[in-house]
């Protein structure tokens, strides 16, 4: 099989999904962000965003912390080191394949 | 949208409410005002003695004002972002030291060559304009280009003002050329300060208008 095609077939499916790619790219540029920020930036609805985050958490790419800002509940999200590594690898593979 | 553009969005999010411009505007206005007063008033007036306290107060207002806007307006409406601590903090320090060392050399060289020193103010203004234009390109807010053009016009027009408008205290001084340059710089800072405050104020007003107030705020 051609090297470039093999690269494409080895892309991380968890990150490759457009919604999750958006989330991971946004989180890769910050220390952490809250659920509301991702909702605003991605334009997804709460249910879709929640399910993507659950998938990313399951893969160990995102860390989710429930906390409070004053008296208001807040969900903070952070890309884990393995999430950062997976995202960088995904970018390299994609670049190599294109 | 490319992945790189997505990665840049949190950076531009910082000014979604106009606070970056409000802070910058307040700082330039504060600095320009105290400098301008020092150029225009005798040396024994309060403006020459209180400048450090005054600038400290300006910085405190910027810090706590920004925090208050973010905490009470921005985070509840469009979300919270914690930025990564940069590991390249020494770079601005080195750049400032190099520029700080180059400026006196350039000034001495320019004076010896009998150049019009206010040209440096134009250059400084155009550099600030270019830096602001870079930010505007990222924010993708079209009306901000009008601010860019006004900044560029100010950078060219203010240094061309008659000398007695810029400084009259030192008009017969042998340091007149330097004083005129400093006076022009303060005047440009005042102009940019007002411009940034108006631009940031409009951004904040538009942001509040176009985002939903949190549930606790609505009637």
Complex prediction ipTM: 0.85
Contact B79 A34 (CB under 8 A): yes
Q: Rounded CA gap, B152 and B94, in Å?
A: 27
Q: What are the pLDDT digits (tens) for A19-75?
A: 999 999 999 999 999 999 999 999 999 999 999 999 999 999 999 999 988 888 899
Contact A36 B82 (CB under 8 A): no
**pLDDT score recorded for residue B45:** 79
**Residue pair B31/B58 in contact by the 8 Å Cβ criterion:** yes
How many helices, marked H, and strands, marked E, lie in chain A?
Answer: 6, 3
Q: What are the pLDDT digits (tens) for B30-62?
A: 988 888 787 777 777 777 777 788 888 999 999
Task: Closest CB to B81: pick one of A22, A25, A33.
Answer: A33
**pLDDT score recorded for residue B141:** 84
Interface test with A, best of B82, B85, B215 (most A CBs within 10 A): B82
Q: Does B14 touch chain A (CB under 8 A)?
A: no
CA torsion sign for B135, B139, B145, B147 is negative
> Is the pTM here over 0.95, yes or no?
no
**pLDDT score recorded for residue B171:** 47
Contact A22 B6 (CB under 8 A): yes
CB-CB neighbours of B165 under 10 Å: 11
Query: For chain A, which domains are there?
Result: 3-97 (1.10.10.10)
Share of chain B above pLDDT 90, in %: 39
**pLDDT score recorded for residue B97:** 82
**pLDDT score recorded for residue B173:** 47
* A78 to chain B, closest Cα gap in Å: 10
CA-nearest of A4, A7, A33 to A89 is A7
Interface test with A, best of B81, B83, B210 (most A CBs within 10 A): B81
CA-nearest of B26, B24, B5 to B139 is B5
**Residue pair B177/B184 in contact by the 8 Å Cβ criterion:** no
Task: Closest CB to A36: pick one of B79, B82, B83.
Answer: B79
Kindly state the helix (H) or strand (E) to which residue A76 belongs, with its residue range.
strand A72-79
pLDDT > 70? residue B170 = no
**Residue pair B23/B62 in contact by the 8 Å Cβ criterion:** yes
Q: What are the pLDDT digits (tens) for B146-156?
A: 999 999 999 99
Interface test with A, best of B1, B2, B5, B6 (most A CBs within 10 A): B6
Do the strands A32-34 and A72-79 form a parallel or antiparallel pair, or are they unpaired?
Answer: antiparallel
Q: How many CB pairs under 8 A join A and B?
A: 60
Domain extent listing, chain B: 3-82+90-217
DSSP state of A12: -
**pLDDT score recorded for residue A13:** 87
Pull the structure tokens for residue A66: 């429930």
* B85 to chain A, closest Cα gap in Å: 8
Q: Rounded CA gap, B65 and A45, in Å?
A: 32
Contact A38 B79 (CB under 8 A): yes
Q: What are the pLDDT digits (tens) for B67-102?
A: 999 999 999 999 999 988 765 567 777 877 887 777
Task: Closest CB to B78: pick one of A37, A76, A91.
Answer: A37
Task: Closest CB to A36: pick one of B78, B82, B85.
Answer: B78
CB proximity list for A5: less than 8 A, separation 6 or greater = A97
């Amino acid at each position: 099989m051609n090297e470039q095609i093999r690269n494409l077939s080895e892309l991380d499916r968890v990150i490759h999904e457009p919604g999750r790619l958006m989330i991971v790219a946004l989180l890769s540029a910050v220390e952490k962000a809250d659920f509301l920020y991702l909702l605003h930036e991605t334009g997804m609805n709460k249910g879709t965003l929640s399910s993507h985050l659950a998938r990313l958490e399951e893969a160990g790419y995102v860390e989710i912390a429930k906390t409070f800002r004053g008296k208001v509940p807040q969900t903070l999200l952070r890309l884990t080191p393995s999430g950062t590594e997976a995202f960088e690898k995904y970018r390299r593979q994609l670049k190599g394949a294109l | 949208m490319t992945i790189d553009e997505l990665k840049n969005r949190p950076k531009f999010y910082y000014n979604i409410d106009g606070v970056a411009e409000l802070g910058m505007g307040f700082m330039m206005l504060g600095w320009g005002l105290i400098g301008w007063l020092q150029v225009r008033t005798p040396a024994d007036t309060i403006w020459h003695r209180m400048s450090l306290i005054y600038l400290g107060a300006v910085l405190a207002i910027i810090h706590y004002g920004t925090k208050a806007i973010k905490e009470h307006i921005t985070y509840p409406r469009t979300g919270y972002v914690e930025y990564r601590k940069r590991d390249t903090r020494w770079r601005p320090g080195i750049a400032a030291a190099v520029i700080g060392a180059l400026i006196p050399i350039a000034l001495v060289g320019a004076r010896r060559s009998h150049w019009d020193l206010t040209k440096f103010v134009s250059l400084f203004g155009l550099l600030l304009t270019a830096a602001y234009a870079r930010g505007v390109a990222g924010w993708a807010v079209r009306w901000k280009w009008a601010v860019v053009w006004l900044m560029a016009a100010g950078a060219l027009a203010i240094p061309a003002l008659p000398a007695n408008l810029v400084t009259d205290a030192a008009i017969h001084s042998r340091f007149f050329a330097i004083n005129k340059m400093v006076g022009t710089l303060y005047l440009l800072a005042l102009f940019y300060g007002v411009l940034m405050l108006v631009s940031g104020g409009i951004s904040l007003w538009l942001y509040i208008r176009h985002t939903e107030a949190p549930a606790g705020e609505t009637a």
